[in-house]
Amino acid sequence: MKITKLTTYIVPPRWCFLKIETDAGIVGWGEPVVEGRAHSVAAAVEELSDYLIGKDPRNIEDHWTVLYRGGFYRGGAIHMSALAGIDQALWDIKGKHLGVPVSQLLGGNVRDRIRVYSWIGGDRPADTAAAAKSAVERGFTAVKMNGTEELQYIDSFDKVEKCLENVAAVREAVGPNVGIGVDFHGRVHKPMAKVLMKELDPFKLMFIEEPVLSEHYEALKELAPLTSTPIALGERLFSRWDFKRVLSEGYVDIIQPDPSHAGGITETRKIAAMAEAYDVALALHCPLGPIALATCLQIDAGCYNAFIQEQSLGIHYNAANDLLDYVSNREVFAYEDGMVAIPQGPGLGIEVNEEYVKERAAVGHRWRNPIWRHADGSFAEW
């Protein structure tokens, strides 16, 4: 079996899909994307395709090694996301060729479903609380919310109070046993993170996500002792080498690699195993499309330290198209009791509606991160 063609599709709301074709008629799908840089990743896929045409798609480990190590400059968001989508599609092909789910090729399942959380938003505490209550009524047992809007290095306490009011309203609305994740989203610098993390402790959160940007990881030495809440980090890290220091120094309780950014199934699986060796939990990052979610679930199936899965159903980004729009077998993502089933079909376990993908690719997207500024006109982290 040989690879004959790679085709990328830029589709709404902000995704990029990849189809890899073979001379055996088996097709694999991946989701190589960086949010706001989809076209850059598609270009990187096209460059990497030169090596792949004519190769046997089943030699995944060797292809990953060459596509990563074969360039003098390696790593980073664009390169690793392009490699991730390719890797996903190759695993999809191999699973379809053998007639088994990818999880079976990775050693089999330790679970048949996994807990998921729903993202909630709202500009006022009452709105956020209502969104949380609605998510619980739909069966979710965990939610995640943004902690703050923009914050200066040192900011006024009214912004801290607004965060506390929002979290308090959500906790009151959902009760003591629903998990609440609060995402600082890299918007918070170390001085204000000290304040927020200490003030949030009484709400017994499921985790605080990205309390500071990954490049300020050393700050966690000061921040971690201020809270009993688990600290989550890792959506902006792209390889096992990026995670090596994070895991060895011991201030992070949950890692969040994204299999559409961190080298695909091959690399993310290795990162997860590293984390297990340090007794660190796994919560794969995935505010993306159905191929990315199917990929995450195939990894979750066999990772003992996986405890919850992000997913984008109904998320505010998905106004033009939602998670299930591009799959023919929508029932494959069986949400029930706050969990989602692991797809059991061959490969990634989903059937991509290729005609609809092509139809929406004709529309495409130019999604970009919002640009925020502080009151003094300086750039604010989004």
Just list the catalytic residues: 185, 285
**DSSP state string for 73-88:** S--SHHHHHHHHHHHH
DSSP letter assigned to residue 308: -
Query: Under a CB-based contact definition with an 8 Å cutoff, are residues 33 and 41 in contact?
Result: yes
Query: Under a CB-based contact definition with an 8 Å cutoff, are residues 292 and 352 in contact?
Result: no
% helix, strand, coil for the chain, step of 5:
40, 15, 40
CA distances from 303 to 6, 67, 83, 286, 297 (A): 30, 25, 21, 16, 10
Query: Under a CB-based contact definition with an 8 Å cutoff, are residues 374 and 150 in contact?
Result: yes
Count other Cβ atoms within 10 Å, centred on residue 61.
10
Q: Which residues of 176-187 are buried (b: 16+ CB within 10 A; e: fewer)?
A: eebbbbbbbbbb
Closest CA relative to residue 224, chosen from 245, 202, 194: 194
CA distances from 49 to 17, 21, 54, 267, 349 (A): 15, 12, 10, 19, 24
Query: Under a CB-based contact definition with an 8 Å cutoff, are residues 33 and 86 in contact?
Result: no
**DSSP state string for 134-193:** HHHHTT-SEEEEE--S---SS--HHHHHHHHHHHHHHHHHH-TTSEEEEE-TT---HHHH
Closest CA relative to residue 313, chosen from 117, 77, 48, 99: 117
DSSP letter assigned to residue 232: E
Q: Phi and psi for 8 in degrees, rounded to 5?
A: -105, 150
Pairing of strands 335-336, 339-341: antiparallel
